[in-house]
A and B are shown apart, each in its own frame.
Chain A
Amino acid sequence: MSLVNFAAREITCKIVYYGPGRSGKTTNLQYIFGRVPESRRGRMVSLATHTDRTLFFDFLPLDLGSISGFATKFQLYTVPGQSYYASTRKLVLQGADGVVFVADSQARRLDDNLESLQDLQTNLLTQNIDIRQLPVVFQYNKQDLPGDLILSPPELDDALNFREVQSFSADALHGGGVFETLKGISELVLRRLAAAEPTA
């Protein structure tokens, strides 16, 4: 849940990048880390295995600057995609203000995407959160691969995006769609905050 500090006029939001293993969640954060000036970001923390698979999470704090008089900060997290790490995924998801579902566009990974999406819904439900009430965007990553290996964004929308939320075509390795995705989820999360009943 967003933390609003009225005394210091600060807002802090937690955004979680979710999706199957090797879909490009960590790559999204690495690209953002590489592009954002040092003064506006903290160090990127990766709790990873010796083979660089995410073990617990990656974490990147971002300072967005002032929005409507509030110093706005985002905490970007990724979850480990491999099914083995189900328990840690649940922990990272706790208190999320928004989710970016990073799908692997390769046709052979469709079942993995569906399984991960189902896992997301289940984990949210254990925290009494209905996925329909949470800001979520889809990112269809690896769209730069040859056309015969991947599904197109409309095909992926049909297969995964039942709620018809915003979706973004991406090539996270080279940065394509990374910025647009972050912008999309940021708008949804902050719009929800603006629409919320006045509270502390």
Chain B
Amino acid sequence: MRTVEPWVTEPLERFLAESSARLTLLMTSAGQVVAQHGFTRSVDVMTAAALGAAIMASTGEIAKLVGESNFLSLAHQGAKQHVFLSAFETPRGRWIGLVVFDAESTVGLVQLFFERLVKELAAAAPKQVPEQQVLPENFERELNASLRALFGR
């Protein structure tokens, strides 16, 4: 499991154990990954987050069209695997959960434990955001080297 902020870890571990989910992804509404469990390649995680955020964003627009405030959760049924998607508010803004599960679980169980996860995250979030330095000002040389390596130049 990987999480951006440590306070997410414990509630997410509990959710994974209780729901028997195969893959779980928490992301911001813009598709940035906050926490994930089960994916092996970070670039695949980013793709799943981008698509999950897009589904929720377009569903939200359809909700507006039909006069709903929002559709907060969605479930997609597959032959062997299923996907549960849900948007929720946190002290860090709106997040989205994407859960992949199989015959080990059910959409009802996933939804039940996901609602508990949302409550636990709200309770666990620290009120203060710690201040930390991001990048030094002289990062350009390393950026240029990285981009040159990326393009083989």
Contact = CB atoms under 8 A, between A and B. Distances in A.
A199 B150 contact: no
Contact of A12 (B32, B47, B140): B32
The A interface is mostly helix, strand or loop, or mixed, namely mixed
Interface of A: 1, 3-8, 10-12, 14, 35-37, 40-43, 45, 47, 56-57, 59, 61-68, 70, 72-73, 75, 77, 87-88, 91-92, 94-96, 179, 182-183, 186-187, 190-191, 193-196, 198-200
Interface of B: 2-6, 28-34, 41-44, 46-47, 50-51, 54, 57-58, 61, 129-137, 139-140, 142-144, 146-147, 149-153
Given A12-B33, A77-B50, A193-B135, A65 B129 contact: no
Nearest to B130: A200
Contacts of A182: 147
Given A14-B32, A45-B51, A95-B28, 5 more contacts: A6-B130, A12-B33, A62-B43, A64-B143, A196-B134
A92 B50 CA distance: 9
Nearest to B144: A183
Return the 10 tightest CB-CB contacts between A and B, nearest first: A95-B30, A42-B43, A61-B46, A194-B135, A3-B32, A91-B57, A5-B4, A61-B43, A68-B139, A64-B146
